[in-house]
Amino acid sequence: MKSFLKSAMSLALMGLLASCGGHKLEDRTVKSPIGAQTRNNDSMKYLPITKLPGHWTVEDVLHDYATYSAQKLTPYFKKAKVPYPPSEVIFLALKQERKLELWARGDGEFRFIRDYDIQAASGVSGPKLRQGDRQVPEGVYRIVSLNPNSHYHLSMRLDYPNEFDLYHADQEGRTDPGGDIFIHGKAASIGCLAMGDETIEELFVLAAQVGKENVKVVIAPRDPRVLPLDTDAASLPEWTAELYDQISSEIQVLSPPVSVSKNVATQQNGRQ
């Protein structure tokens, strides 16, 4: 009996670790804003506040990372002539290029802010169809929740499967299209977008400050501004053409990105 219980507990722990949204299993210490600003300095100081596993809040994350993240992002927003924080944000993920572009707007049009390397994204080109296929989904999504207790540092949950995904799953008799798709930290993926810890801190803080209802996430197999999306592969469902039209329409309204990231990086390096 003891052996059975031990095995059951081990399996449950493995299941927790397999989920992008699971809680971390170690304590986290809330850093002061001063510490967050100097996180790359050996003299980083911490407030004597320890949070138990699973007890961090979004407010704790903002307390810990908002000042530092804003300092990093503000020069990019200033270069793009967009106020920080903006009123709306688009995260554009390009699977083939392994890039996530950040677009934002104040009162005017969306402008390119900067891009980030996607550290890991499992699967191949094509939409996600079922649980366990390890595919990063493709489509137009929203962020439904911010998880400050992810064992992938921080995570933002997408509304996959959305109405489009559920409709076509029902039409094809697919009863388990999967779920639990996140943008998160670290560099490992089982269907999610892994961005690394420092990047997810910036994106998480930005989403929290803007409001998750004002963040759109577009995931494409590749950049249709460079080459139209191909639906000729025999492995793709017939409705992929409709999906790719939706994705292309969302992306084509965005002006071609300029090299803001490189320009700002050069200026920042020149000041050091």
Domain ranges of the chain: 83-258
pLDDT(203) > 80:
yes
Selected catalytic residue, list 151, 153, 168, 184? 184
Strands 193-194, 182-184: pairing is parallel
Looking at residues 70-85, what average pLDDT do you find?
Answer: 97
- Give the model's pLDDT for residue 210: 98
Report, as an integer, the average pLDDT of 190-208.
Answer: 97
H helical segments located in 45-155? 58-80
Determine what percent of the chain is predicted with pLDDT higher than 90: 70
Model pLDDT for residues 144-188, shown as the tens digit of each residue: 999 999 989 999 999 999 999 999 999 999 999 999 999 999 999
183 or 23: which leads in pLDDT:
183
| pLDDT tens-digit series, residues 110-136 | 999 999 999 999 999 999 999 999 999
Nearest to 148 by CA among 53, 18, 50, 48: 53
Residue 23 has pLDDT above 80, yes or no: no
20 assigned to active site: no
* Residues paired with 220 in a beta bridge: 94
pLDDT of residue 233: 86
6 or 90: which carries more pLDDT confidence?
90
Q: Count the helix, strand and coil residues of the chain and give each as a percent rounded to the nearest 5.
A: 35, 20, 45
Active site residue 184: yes
Q: Assess whether pLDDT exceeds 70 at residue 259.
A: no
Q: What is the mean pLDDT of the chain?
A: 84
Cα distance between residue 88 and residue 105, in whole Å: 6
Q: Mark 219-242 as b/e (b = at least 16 C-beta within 10 Å).
A: bbbebbeeeebebeeeebeeebee
Q: Annotated catalytic residue: which of 20, 151, 153, 192? A: 192
At the top level of CATH, the class of 83-258 is: mainly beta
**How far are the Cα atoms of 50, 189, 200 from residue 46, in angstroms, in the given order?**
10, 31, 21
Between residues 134 and 263, the one the model is more confident about = 134
